[in-house]
Structure 1
Amino acid sequence: MAAAAAALLLLLLAAAAGPGRVGAGRARRDALREELLLSPLPAGDVAATFQFRTRWDADLPRGAVSHYRLFPKALGRLVAALGVQELHLALTQGFWRTRTWGQPPLQAPAGAELWVWFQPTVTDVDKAWKELSNILSGIFCASLNFIDSTNTVTPTASFKPLGLANGTDHHLLRYAVLPREVVCTENLTPWKKLLPCGSKAGLAVLLKAERLFHSSYHSQAVHIRPICRDASCLAVSWELRQTLTVVFDTFSSGQGKKDWSLFKMFSRTLTDACPLASQSKVYVDISPKNKEKELLEVTPAPASVYEAIVQGDKRTYAVYDLLSPSLFNTSRSLNVQLKWKRPQDTELPTPVLHAQRYVSGYGLQTGEISTLIYNTHPYRAFPVMLLETVPWYLRLYVHTLTIITKGKENKPSYIHYQPAQDRRRPHLLEMLIQLPANSVTKITIQFERALLKWTEYTPDPNHGFYVSSSVLSALVPSVIAMKDVDVEQSPLFTSL
């Protein structure tokens, strides 16, 4: 009886430990890191970038996982059931002004963007893609269920895997954009519910819909990918990054002043960190503009300063650690205030790479799509991969495609074109173009509008027809050499 009782006791202790927690060697390690970056922009605007990174030591595609702690169960079961290798979803309202604000911290086009890499074990990728878009539509209350073959493409050179590249077979890749998707509170609420602390504690307390959508730019995203668990990469972990970028300007806010604070931007202050977070920090960009003295005064005084290389430039950041016991000793809340010492009339340096696209022509029958790509580097040339996705009802004349740089024809070194099929698939055009130093490259192609049925018009045809954004992929040259930064030390700056 004593032996049986001892065996029963050990069994109960093992069950109480929970799945994956019986032995120390097999214990799964979940980690949550939350970060907020405040970047002052010209004309007194401020960009706020949130990132919540959840790392989960589990092998989803190979085995069924029944225990979820920090990783959202809805996304974990979705990845395991449909054989997802990587998933990237972005919902954006507004346009990022690249020439005025510089390069965006996190890229995303207007509307809804979804691109997914599937596992090589997935036999029917189109079926899995359709199921995935329908499920994501229910999770995020978005119109992703309207993604079908008429707006889905399979790129051949763009969208390389950001995680572990087990296979780069582009037949496993799907990409789609809904340019008319309107982002609102109904999309933000389920996005916040995926966070381990929700919006009850930590940086997520600042996510007040009334203030976030009263801005000139708003972009929220979800990124899932596999990463190496250690340097040997013998085991795989899963990374979930939830990002949110908001631009507050003096016109939409009605402040009339260029001085900002957390309370003016979000109508709330920070009182504590998320109890489940192993890192909770606020960064404020205090880098001097144009090699001058600091124009920005930050209060309260930061306890430390962090330097990082972001997009080829050396930046200096004031750091506020919410997990530090001394941060809330003087006051119960943290209200970071930004005040300019003198009127801010300086402008950010022109980005090395920026582009714009517009439609020219007159009438409703024919037109022309023009794309301008700028390389402002004084002496370095570099290639860019251009991806164009055009709806089927805009019938492209491929023989009218012209690429002009400095008054001369610029022949692409790689080109892939997949013609559209009426009511079945869109046009797909990919080109690898060399951009000379200090040049402007103009790409034009003519089109003709197809005659639509009256049931194929949008509910509000006065808006016209929206065309999805182009995609530029490039390795931009940098004056400062990039260094390998530990992801665990600062996941935000690693992703930037």
Structure 2
Amino acid sequence: MRGSFLFSVLAFLLCLFSYFDFSSAVANLVTNVENLRSSSNFEESLELKILPTDYLLSSFNFKLQSDAFDFNSSRNLIIDSFSYRNHNGFSKKIEPLLNSANVKNLFLKFARGHWDYSKWGKTPKNGWSSAGSGVEIWALIEANNKSDAIDNWGILVSQLSGMFCSSVNFINAEKITFPHNVSSYMDGKINVKALPKLQDGNSYFLLRGSLANEPICTENLSPILRFLPTNGKVGLSSLLDGHKIFDSYWSYMSIDLSTICDDFSMCHYDMEIDIHFVVNIQKSLARNRRPSPRATPVEELQCDTSKKFTEWECFPLPTKKEYSFLISDIFGSTINDRSRLNLVRNSKIKVLGIDNEYWNTAVKIGEEMFATDNHEYELNEQQPCQYDIYIFTNDNSKLDTRLIESNKPPLYVSRTLTGNSQDKGGIRVIFTNPSKTQDAIIKYYETLPWFMRVYVSSLKISSSDISLSNEDLESLINDKYVSLSDIRGKPLHLEYTITVPKSSTLTIHFDVEKPLLNYEEYPPDSNHGFEIESALVVVLDRFYPNKNYFIRTPTLLLSLATPDFSMPYNVITITSTLMAFCFGLIFNLLTKRIVSVEDSKHLITEKPLIRIVKKIKKKFKS
């Protein structure tokens, strides 16, 4: 009885303590509900830019902001289980993705196709919203040391691989680099003052990795659309169709995630999604109107008036000068109504790059058309309706010349492999500064795999300006940072600060050694070669902060000396044949007897099965 009484007292005390803990948790929950009012936001915009030679650049931008939360309490799982979360359209997948790998900022980029710098000018957003062909990832990770940061990186890419149905989990320690001069690449992208406070002994590490020529398809677009509160069903996202995007000449998708905190550890997540792609207007319209290839009808032909033509024959223009279209003809659908989504604070469409004297635009709402002078339209209708944009021109060659001139890139870069030997070669990078008044100061960022052994000491530099001496050429490289590669451990990492003189071309060259790899390190299609990721070139603007221009060079295809993979299979085949022949011969000698034909007949008649058959026959006869 005494023991049961003490047990009852202890049980009562435990219940009492748990009650007070639960009461305090409920009180904290109520406080959080009162303090953390919805601060989420969602904005969307679409820019339609007419490029020379009838190309259309479509730039979708989506900005999302989560509700505020207490970052300190979110570190504690017990308190976090009682904390209040009201996502209000912000994806619930983001917080577990960042917290699992202790990531504070994440920049994920998917790109495919070719951007024509000579005709189309700068890439969108000063090149930040672009990447080399494949996948590129930048991540700011909180960790105790580099080894822990790499471990967290492995967790991050594993989750991204499953989330986006891609092969980014192959970006392992052999392909990761730690940028040396962070401010040159993340100026304006990472707000150091707004980052969460570090735990004791931890530091921030910026990691970068890339996977060259990773196939980009609709399986990568669908997860991005699910991040949006519209889910690709209403608003501007209803225009996005994977078949249209990936049938383009150049496409790019990016996700920028940031953790923003104030002095009181109240934080929120900012997410910006960019989707850009380039299509040819007339080819897209012709494909929609005539899915099967046919000759152009006579009434649609436009003759080249600069050449001789008659009533029966003429030289047709390669493209029409006069045409009109709706963006639904390009995208395959109209803009669905946004009245069902009250979360959208702003929704805009703007047409750029056209001359007002030769181009007209209007927004189509239902059956009515509305036009503006600045070609900018806000989708603010509250009643259910369908939106469409109408564009007309009587001379497609008349574009905004001022925009074309201001959109020229400040630098042209090309990178190629040299040499035709199987064991040696080189890599050449050419920088061309088109400016006639200003030198270009650039950051040259190169990441090369460990099996591409570059002799850094073999650097050769030359210029189209013959007046520059060797000493002058060497002085153009202002700063060097080199992190040598480890065999099967980490890649070669180069960062050079270079001055490219005005109106000149600068060329640098490295010698490269091509080693033999282990048998299992060759890809399935070994004769195809190895994909080498793009080099990153940042044009530093000293006069206008946060205006740095980013350039990614095309990827390279490295051919290594490849052994004859058929020989092992030939050896295996011959060896197996000989072993089978010898085994069969020995087995026959051990298990069989050599007898004469007469003895064999006697042995056959004495077999048990034959005797049983003979007995059965005798019974049936009797």
- TM bin (shorter chain): 0.7 to 0.9
Preserved CA contact (<8 Å) 2:100 2:156: no
Deviation at 1:416, TM superposition (A): 0.7
Preserved CA contact (<8 Å) 1:116 1:173: yes
Preserved CA contact (<8 Å) 2:430 2:507: yes
Distance 1:443 1:139, change over 3 A: same
Deviation at 1:171, TM superposition (A): 6.6
Deviation at 1:281, TM superposition (A): 1.1
Q: Please give the alpha-carbon distance, in whole angstroms, between the structure 1 residues aligned to 2:396 and 2:57.
A: 18
1:151 aligns with 2:208: no
Q: Please give the alpha-carbon distance, in whole angstroms, between the structure 2 residues aligned to 1:391 and 1:36.
A: 38
Deviation at 1:235, TM superposition (A): 5.0
1:33 aligns with 2:43: yes
Say which of 45, 49, 52 aligns to 2:55. 45
Give the aligned partner of residue 312 of structure 1. none
* 1:164 aligned partner, one-letter code: N
User: After the TM superposition, which residues 198-347 of structure 1 pair with which residues of structure 2 at under 5 Å, given as runs?
Assistant: 198-227=231-260, 235-250=266-281, 253=284, 255=286, 260-273=325-338, 274-288=341-355, 294-300=357-363, 304=372, 318-324=375-381, 332-344=385-397
Q: Please give the alpha-carbon distance, in whole angstroms, between the structure 2 residues aligned to 1:164 and 1:247.
A: 32
Say which of 516, 525, 528 aligns to 1:451. 516
Distance 1:135 1:265, change over 3 A: same
1:132 aligns with 2:142: no
Distance 1:458 1:397, change over 3 A: same
Distance 1:483 1:297, change over 3 A: farther
SS of equivalent to 2:186 = coil
Give the aligned partner of residue 439 of structure 2. 381
Give the aligned partner of residue 220 of structure 2. 187
Give the aligned partner of residue 114 of structure 1. 137
SS of equivalent to 1:253 = helix
* 2:219 aligned partner, one-letter code: E
Distance 1:302 1:420, change over 3 A: farther
Distance 1:59 1:403, change over 3 A: farther
Q: Please give the alpha-carbon distance, in whole angstroms, between the structure 2 residues aligned to 1:260 and 1:447.
A: 52
Q: Residues 246-291 of structure 1: CA distance to partner in whole angstroms, max 9, x if unpaired?
A: 1112586373667553112210111322442111111111454xxx
Runs of 4+ more than 6 Å apart = 18-21, 167-171, 481-484
Preserved CA contact (<8 Å) 2:285 2:330: no
Q: Residues 13-60 of structure 1: CA distance to partner in whole angstroms, max 9, x if unpaired?
A: x99xx877732x531311011111111111100011111110124347
SS of equivalent to 2:161 = helix
SS of equivalent to 1:181 = coil
Give the aligned partner of residue 118 of structure 2. 99
Q: Residues 307-349 of structure 1: CA distance to partner in whole angstroms, max 9, x if unpaired?
A: xxxxxxxxxx5211112459x8xxx422213333314177843
Distance 1:60 1:136, change over 3 A: farther
Q: Please give the alpha-carbon distance, in whole angstroms, between the structure 2 residues aligned to 1:265 and 1:19.
A: 51
Q: Taking structure 2 as the reference length, what is the TM-score of the superposition? A: 0.66
Deviation at 1:476, TM superposition (A): 4.0
Say which of 186, 194, 208 aligns to 1:160. 186
Q: Which runs of 5+ in 2 are unaligned?
A: 1-24, 75-79, 287-318, 364-368, 548-622
Distance 1:143 1:483, change over 3 A: closer
Q: Which structure shows the higher helix fraction?
A: 2
SS of equivalent to 1:131 = helix
Q: Please give the alpha-carbon distance, in whole angstroms, between the structure 2 residues aligned to 1:295 and 1:457.
A: 57
Deviation at 1:360, TM superposition (A): 2.1
User: After the TM superposition, which residues 464-479 of structure 1 pair with which residues of structure 2 at under 5 Å, given as runs?
Assistant: 464-476=529-541
Preserved CA contact (<8 Å) 1:43 1:345: no
Q: Residues 113-146 of structure 1: CA distance to partner in whole angstroms, max 9, x if unpaired?
A: 0010113667821111111111111111110111
* 2:155 aligned partner, one-letter code: E
Deviation at 1:85, TM superposition (A): 1.8
Q: Please give the alpha-carbon distance, in whole angstroms, between the structure 2 residues aligned to 1:251 and 1:421.
A: 51
Say which of 418, 426, 436 aligns to 1:368. 426
Q: Residues 329-380 of structure 1: CA distance to partner in whole angstroms, max 9, x if unpaired?
A: xxx4222133333141778434222322122222332222111222222211
Distance 1:176 1:200, change over 3 A: same
Deviation at 1:185, TM superposition (A): 1.2
Q: Please give the alpha-carbon distance, in whole angstroms, between the structure 2 residues aligned to 1:20 and 1:254.
A: 57
Preserved CA contact (<8 Å) 2:361 2:392: yes
Preserved CA contact (<8 Å) 1:302 1:320: no
With 186-195 and 67-76 compared, the bigger mean Cα shift is at: 67-76
Preserved CA contact (<8 Å) 1:368 1:446: yes
Distance 1:381 1:111, change over 3 A: same
Preserved CA contact (<8 Å) 1:111 1:181: yes
Identity of paired residues, percent?
25
* 1:340 aligned partner, one-letter code: T
RMSD of aligned C-alpha atoms? 3.3
Q: Please give the alpha-carbon distance, in whole angstroms, between the structure 2 residues aligned to 1:20 and 1:462.
A: 65
Distance 1:30 1:336, change over 3 A: same
Q: Please give the alpha-carbon distance, in whole angstroms, between the structure 2 residues aligned to 1:299 and 1:218.
A: 26
Q: Residues 427-450 of structure 1: CA distance to partner in whole angstroms, max 9, x if unpaired?
A: 111000112222222122121111
Give the aligned partner of residue 494 of structure 1. none
SS of equivalent to 1:188 = helix
Preserved CA contact (<8 Å) 1:375 1:439: yes
With 349-358 and 55-64 compared, the bigger mean Cα shift is at: 55-64
Q: Please give the alpha-carbon distance, in whole angstroms, between the structure 2 residues aligned to 1:276 and 1:138.
A: 29
Distance 1:137 1:385, change over 3 A: same
Give the aligned partner of residue 436 of structure 1. 501
Q: Please give the alpha-carbon distance, in whole angstroms, between the structure 2 residues aligned to 1:364 and 1:254.
A: 48
Preserved CA contact (<8 Å) 2:50 2:352: yes
Q: Which structure shows the higher strand fraction?
A: 1
Deviation at 1:242, TM superposition (A): 1.3
SS of equivalent to 2:96 = helix
With 52-61 and 101-110 compared, the bigger mean Cα shift is at: 52-61
SS of equivalent to 1:136 = helix
Looking at CA atoms only, which structure, 1 or 2, has the larger radius of gyration?
Answer: 2
Q: Please give the alpha-carbon distance, in whole angstroms, between the structure 1 residues aligned to 2:31 and 2:537.
A: 43
Preserved CA contact (<8 Å) 2:130 2:252: no
Distance 1:253 1:277, change over 3 A: same
* 2:482 aligned partner, one-letter code: Y
* 1:179 aligned partner, one-letter code: A
Preserved CA contact (<8 Å) 1:404 1:443: yes
Say which of 49, 52, 68 aligns to 1:58. 68
Give the aligned partner of residue 33 of structure 2. 22
The higher relative CO (CA closer than 8 Å, separation ≥ 6) is in 1
Q: Residues 396-447 of structure 1: CA distance to partner in whole angstroms, max 9, x if unpaired?
A: 0112212333243243111011111111111111000112222222122121
